[in-house]
Amino acid sequence: MNDLLKIENLYINFRTLWGVAKVLNGINLTIKEGEIFGLVGETGCGKSVTASTILRLLPSNAEVSGKVLFKGENLLEKSEEEMRKIRGKEISIIFQDPMTSLNPLFKIRDQMVDVITLHNNLSKEEAEKRAKDLLEKVGLPDPERVLNSYPHELSGGMRQRVMIAMALSSNPSLLIADEPTTALDVTIQKQILKLILELKETYGFSVLFITHDLGVVAELCDRVGVMYAGNIVEIAPTEELFENPLHPYTQGLLSVVPDPRYKKKLKPLRGSVPSLLNPPTGCRFHPRCDYAGDLCKKEKPELIEYSPDHFVACHLYGGNSE
Amino acid sequence: MRKEEYIKILFRNKLSVIGLSIILLLVFVAIFAPFLAPYPEQAKGEPNLKERLQPPSWKHPFGTDHMGRDIFSRVIYGARTSLLIGFSVVSIALVIGLFLGLIAGYFGGKFDLLIMRITDIFLAFPPLLLALLIASTLGRGLMNAILALAISWWPWYTRLVRGMAISVKNRPYVEAAKAMGVADWKIMIRHILPNSVSPLIVQATMDIGSAILEAAALSFLGLGVQPPTPDWGLMISEGKNYFLNYWWYPVFPGLAIFVTVIAFNLLGDAIREVIDPRLRRRFL
């Protein structure tokens, strides 16, 4: 499979009133064509910032360096005009909160037609027909009724389906799903995940799936990247990651997933997430790591391929310049 | 909420109904002034010196002025002038305010800084004083009065729109629109503007009343509408010299202004009540 998106050495700093927040600390990742890549991590570890960077939607106080290669072209060097043609057409995003992602004042029809005509050279009637098709594809049985509704007349699950339909309206090659199920009921969550999987099979786009829910990752993703405090600490195929986690943080994460079959006590990670204004030196995880040594305090570990397709950034697994 | 429900809320409050009725009546009177005024020629300024300063009677319900003109007819024609001033001042101020406020609020940064500092300069002057200054620079007349008032009025709208734009631009659907590749100007028109329009409607409605009042003040001070145009402010100004002996001359135009301004304020309150559920009085 070819690489669709390649992020190389991406650093992002936010200038804030309290100092410079080092939000992304040189991340590297690749999303292949037709795969679902999961990005997991705690709140504030940089998952959503990564998504915003790909679409170049960062606030103006962000400083960016590195490369975001999409189909071989660096998105960070594109003009605003060129980016506008990529957003929604080549790369689409669906957001966490479907309740507020639609403009409350317009009917679904107007909003969908707007988006469809934006990137496709279609008349209003053709766009409406397209909208109906899309709504049917995302499993809304009465598209005409949905088109005539205002957002508040639809349930959360229906709205998220509408958002997905809008995101797919121009056949994007990459769909970024930024915690698309977090705000939904568990049963609806399951339906939406299934839908994304089916649509991916039909249309063949790639998905960058951002979540903090390891259960969702296990169910959906082909490969997973684990983020901690602005770093990618481990990337592996999903099964491999769950069976053979290498990084102490990943191991910690997996050990706190409750298993209803056994009544065992969960072993939480000690300490808490560091402030990005003043992150720990060396490996950002070292203050919470049981295995941390002197090297971890001094030097940032690089992401290395420990076994085929399994990458880890940890001094335990060597591969450092020393 | 459906339209019928809005209308129901509007009609539940008696004061709203009164305000709305008065305004509809005023608009009606202004449109059909030539048919309603008993002496249209006198209203436009033709003197009738035989009947100078007559008290109110069946022939002249509001009496006559120092040139014998029927004050009732002139008050009716004055509604035209006043509504014209009220609506045009607010429309001009609103258009400027919308344009600058949206740019300042949505883009922020340097645009915001520049536009808001200019706005501050205008806001530093007492509004009537600024209008006086501009009117005296531009010269007398109806159009110049409108322009002067509009120029002293737009900063309020700019601030209001900017505030709304800032609060709306961070809502997820704006971000979603951006992520779908919608251009900035389209986001402003489709998303920011419609979602920030409700406080504007309230403000604009009330301001029509205030603009009429300030235009009257300009006319009173001799900088607004010039004789023989029928204008309430001007009539009060001319009538003040006769007030002690011929009370009806300034009183009826004054009442007209009073009632008009109150009506627009009542309507503004009513609209606010309809738009903002928190302000709704449940029992009335």
Q: How far apart are CA B48 and CA A251, in angstroms?
A: 101
A220 in reach of chain B (CB within 8 A): no
Q: Which of A81, A105, A164, A169 to mutate to test the interface with B (most CBs of B within 10 A)?
A: A105
Say which CATH number the domain at B187 has.
Answer: 1.10.3720.10
Report the residue of chain A nearest B194, measured CA to CA.
A105
B191 in reach of chain A (CB within 8 A): yes
Q: Which of B167, B169, B170, B173 to mutate to test the interface with A (most CBs of A within 10 A)?
A: B173
Contacts A105 to B, Cβ<8 Å = 194-195
pLDDT at A319: 52
The beta-carbon neighbor of B180 closest among A60, A97, A166 is: A166
The beta-carbon neighbor of B171 closest among A86, A100, A166 is: A100
B194 in reach of chain A (CB within 8 A): yes
Q: CA quadruple B184, B187, B190, B192: dihedral positive or negative?
A: negative
Residue at B105 is within a domain: yes
Residue at A73 is within a domain: yes
Of the candidate ranges A57-61, B48-52, B220-224, B241-245, the one whose mean pLDDT is the lowest: B48-52
Spell A205-232 as b/e; 16+ CB within 10 A means b: bbbbbbbbbbebbeebbbbbbbbbbbbb
Residue at A303 is within a domain: yes
Which positions ≥6 away from B155 have C-beta within 8 Å?
B97, B119, B120, B122, B123
The alpha-carbon gap from A193 to the nearest alpha carbon of chain B, in Å, equals 20
Report the residue of chain A nearest B168, measured CA to CA.
A103
Across the interface, whether the CB atoms of A118 and B172 are under 8 A apart is answered no
Q: Is the ipTM of this complex over 0.90?
A: no
The alpha-carbon gap from B11 to the nearest alpha carbon of chain A, in Å, equals 24
Question: Residue B277 — very low, low, confident or very high, per pLDDT cuts 50/70/90?
Answer: low
Q: How far apart are CA A101 and CA A113, in angstroms?
A: 16
Residue at A246 is within a domain: yes
Which positions ≥6 away from A3 have C-beta within 8 Å?
A30, A31, A32, A33, A69
Question: Residue A38 — very low, low, confident or very high, per pLDDT cuts 50/70/90?
Answer: very high
Residue at A9 is within a domain: yes
At residue A15, does pLDDT exceed 60? yes
Q: How many CA atoms lie within 13 A of B197 on its CB side?
A: 10
Strand A36-40 to strand A223-228: parallel, antiparallel, or no bridges (unpaired)? parallel
Across the interface, whether the CB atoms of B191 and A93 are under 8 A apart is answered no
- Give the A window 63-122 contacts with B, CB below 8 Å: 83-89, 92-93, 95, 97, 100-106, 114-115, 118-119
A219 in reach of chain B (CB within 8 A): no
Report the residue of chain A nearest B172, measured CA to CA.
A101
pLDDT in tens, B149-200: 999 999 999 999 999 999 998 888 898 888 888 888 989 988 998 888 888 8
Report the residue of chain A nearest B186, measured CA to CA.
A114
The alpha-carbon gap from B110 to the nearest alpha carbon of chain A, in Å, equals 12
Say which CATH number the domain at A28 has.
Answer: 3.40.50.300
Across the interface, whether the CB atoms of A100 and B180 are under 8 A apart is answered no
Distances (CA, A) of A88 to A83, A169, B202: 10, 8, 37
Residue at A305 is within a domain: yes
Average pLDDT over chain B reads 86
Contacts B178 to A, Cβ<8 Å = 57, 87
The alpha-carbon gap from B171 to the nearest alpha carbon of chain A, in Å, equals 7
pLDDT at B279: 60
A163 in reach of chain B (CB within 8 A): yes
The count of structural domains within chain B is 1
The alpha-carbon gap from B94 to the nearest alpha carbon of chain A, in Å, equals 21
Across the interface, whether the CB atoms of A101 and B179 are under 8 A apart is answered no
Residue at A266 is within a domain: yes
DSSP code of residue B164: H
Domain range holding A16? 3-90+207-317
Residue type, A146: V
* Predicted TM-score of the model (pTM): 0.78
Q: Where are the alpha helices (DSSP H) in chain A?
A: 47-54, 80-86, 108-119, 124-137, 143-147, 156-167, 186-203, 214-220, 238-243, 248-255, 294-298
Determine the 3-state secondary structure of B13 from DSSP: coil
Spell A294-318 as b/e; 16+ CB within 10 A means b: eebeeeebebeebeeebbbbbbbbe
B44 in reach of chain A (CB within 8 A): no
Q: How far apart are CA B10 and CA B269, in angstroms?
A: 10
Q: How far apart are CA A82 and CA B117, in angstroms?
A: 33
Residue A64 near residue A12 (C-beta atoms within 8 A): yes
Taking residues B89-111, what's their average pLDDT? 92
Residue at A161 is within a domain: no
Q: How far apart are CA A164 and CA A162, in angstroms?
A: 5
Q: How far apart are CA A205 and CA A170, in angstroms?
A: 11
Rg (CA), chain B: 22
Q: Is A243 exposed, middle or buried (0-12, 13-18, 19+ CB in 10 A)?
A: exposed
Contacts B109 to A, Cβ<8 Å = 60
> How much of chain B exceeds pLDDT 90, in percent?
24
Closest of B281, B180, B122, B35 to residue A102, by C-alpha: B180
**Number of cross-chain residue pairs from A and B with Cβ atoms under 8 Å apart:** 61
Domain range holding B113? 3-33+64-279
pLDDT in tens, A226-282: 999 889 999 999 999 998 999 999 988 888 877 777 777 777 788 888 888 888 888
Q: How far apart are CA B262 and CA B16, in angstroms?
A: 11
Q: CA quadruple B218, B219, B220, B226: dihedral positive or negative?
A: positive
Question: Residue A205 — very low, low, confident or very high, per pLDDT cuts 50/70/90?
Answer: very high
Residue at A151 is within a domain: no
Residue at B111 is within a domain: yes
Contacts A117 to B, Cβ<8 Å = none
DSSP-assigned states of every residue in A96-150: S-TTTSS-TTS-HHHHHHHHHHHHS---HHHHHHHHHHHHHHTT-S-HHHHHTS-
Residue at B55 is within a domain: no
Residue at B178 is within a domain: yes
Determine the 3-state secondary structure of B56 from DSSP: coil
Across the interface, whether the CB atoms of A115 and B173 are under 8 A apart is answered no
Task: Specify the higher pLDDT residue, B26 or A292.
Answer: B26
The count of structural domains within chain A is 1
